Amino acid sequence: MKQTPDAPHSVYGVEKWGKGLVEVTEQGEIGLRNPLAPDAAAISLPGILADLDDRGIKAPMLLRVSSYLEHEIAHLNESFADAIARVGYKGPYRGVFPIKVNQQAQVVDRIVEFGKKYNYGLEAGSKPELVVALAHRLAPEALIVCNGVKDAEFIQLAILSRKIGFNTVIVLESPKEADTVIEVYRELGIEPLIGVRVKLTNQISGKWEESSGDRSAFGMNTDQLVATVDKLREAGLLHCLKLQHSHLGSQVQDVNDVRRAVGEACRYYTELTREGVPLTHLDLGGGMGVDYTGEKKAAENSINYTVEEYCSNVVETVAYAMDEAEIAHPTLVTESGRAVVATSSMLVFNVLETTLYDAPTAPDVEPDDNHLVSDLAAINGYLSKDRLQECWNDATFYRNELRALFRRGYVDLRQMARAERIYLSLMARLK
Ligand SMILES: *Cc1c(COP(=O)(O)O)cnc(C)c1O
């Protein structure tokens, strides 16, 4: 972990991906900065580990930095609020955290706590996740968005939760789920809050591209969408259909993919509105990426945008599409997962072994060594600053000749080993 102070920047690019949260201190240690106290000095990670060690807590361990989580939640919500104010958008942002991205109780508890002042809610993709969501005290305006395949029990729980004050939206993934919702509604006599998941045709490139486009597992195509609207209308429940969900994918690399997909989602929203569906919420799912490498480009493990740009693009695209269609601006929902939690945990493990390539010392030449071995060793005698290239040329030539002789059986293993060691010690001096 000890490094000369400027090496880690050029070697590891800490300042590129560290987001100002992680840095290398003057002592050459990894330092953690507190984004909520920007003027405070970085805290030494080895120092934290030494304290834990004193308490008998040993690596491997997962460290969670809750101020990073608080910072990311604030950053997301405030970036949407800023974009909304700047564009003059006439609707709020009501984000939800998808529980599947980190189901640890400590994490979900903190997310709810830090998100309360922003009316930040939760997304549940299964019945157990809905149970988790219902165990939290969310802000009165916060949403619980239920995605995923649902049975009657899941739907009952979602509808019943409205009785105790949760804004639980059942997002229909198929026309069959609409039938189940209608049945459960008739049994319970409580009106559901309903959403529909629309499959976008825009395929978003990147690692998770199969979760977008025609063949993605979840959501409805236009035919199924129309069938669902008709079923709800017939059952007298169309007035409960308030939310449209279109999941953009995950780790979206290129912000222009966000614009295209949001534009397409808006087309469905405006068309459904024209059909008489009283939509009020547009949910754009997950997808905001993390720049793991810090390259700032649309490449594997990187992205070409910031949180602020993502939010601006979403708000601008929706505002433009709704104004064009003369439809009221919907409440914006996103389900960003990784972008919210990725920076807040780090896995720490012990170094078990290091592989060294350099040889610090050279062995002595022996009388019956091949002359190429003694030639190689002799380079040490004329190695100087102005003959670096020549020495490197010679060393490489002799070593390659020796390797050729070894392959043909003229040099034995022990001589070859001495030659290798002499060569590496020369390289160490040449560096
Ligand atoms: C996985 C998932 C998310 C979270 O995606 P991220 O890329 O982590 O933001 C959001 N919504 C749904 C429906 C998901 O399946």
Length of the chain: 431
Query: Quick one: 171 exposed, middle or buried, by C-beta within 10 A (0-12, 13-18, 19+)?
Result: buried
**List of E strands, 198-272:** 241-245
Note whether 185 and 159 are within 8 A (CB): yes
153 CA from centroid of ligand 1 (Å): 23
Residue showing tokens 């594997």: 300
Taking residues 151-162, report their average pLDDT. Answer: 97
Query: Cβ distance 297 to 304 under 8 Å?
Result: yes
Average per-residue pLDDT for the chain: 93
Confidence of residue 431 (pLDDT cuts 50, 70, 90): confident
Amino acid at 400: N
Round to whole Å and give the CA distance between 85 and 316: 11
Residues touching ligand 1 (Cβ under 6 Å) are 98, 100-101, 123, 125, 147, 247, 250-251, 285-288, 335-339
**Phi, psi angle pair for 180, to nearest 5°:** -65, -40
Block residue for tokens 């209608």? 182
User: How far is ligand 1, taken at its centre, from the CA of residue 408, in Å?
Assistant: 60
**What pTM does this model have?**
0.85
CA dihedral 21, 23, 25, 31 (to 10 degrees): 50
293: left (phi over 0), alpha (psi -120 to 50) or beta: alpha
Burial 319-334 (b: 16+ CB within 10 A, else e): bebbeeeeeebbbbbb
Q: Are strands 345-348 and 61-64 parallel, antiparallel or unpaired?
A: antiparallel
User: What is the reported pLDDT for 2?
Assistant: 42
pLDDT at 218: 80
Kindly report, residue by residue over 39-85, the tens digit of the pLDDT: 999 999 999 999 999 999 998 999 999 999 999 999 999 999 999 99
Q: What is the mean pLDDT of residues 143-161?
A: 97
Q: Ligand 1, residues 96, 101, 197, 283: which to mutate, most atoms within 8 A of Cβ?
A: 101
What pLDDT shows up at residue 124?
98
The atom number, within ligand 1, closest to the CA of 336 reads 9
- The tens digit of pLDDT for each residue in 337-383 reads 999 999 999 999 988 898 887 778 888 889 989 999 999 999 999 99
Q: How far apart are CA 145 and CA 239, in angstroms?
A: 18
CA distances from 115 to 119, 134, 328, 342 (A): 6, 15, 26, 16
C-beta atoms surrounding 305 within 10 Å: 21
Interacting residues of 136 by C-beta distance below 8 A, sequence separation 6+: 108, 109, 112, 122
Q: Quick check: 153 pLDDT over 80?
A: yes
- Is residue 128 a contact partner of residue 135, using CB atoms and an 8 Å limit? no
Which ligand 1 atom is at minimum distance from the Cα of 285?
Answer: 11
CA neighbours within 13 Å on the CB side: how many for 326? Answer: 1
DSSP 364-386: PP-TTS-HHHHHHHHHHHH--GG
Average pLDDT on 179-184 reads: 98
Distance CA 418, CA 50 (A): 41
The more confidently predicted of residues 20 and 273 is 273
Q: What is the pLDDT of residue 202?
A: 77
CB-based contact 101:341 (threshold 8 Å)? yes
pLDDT in tens, 89-105: 999 999 999 999 999 99
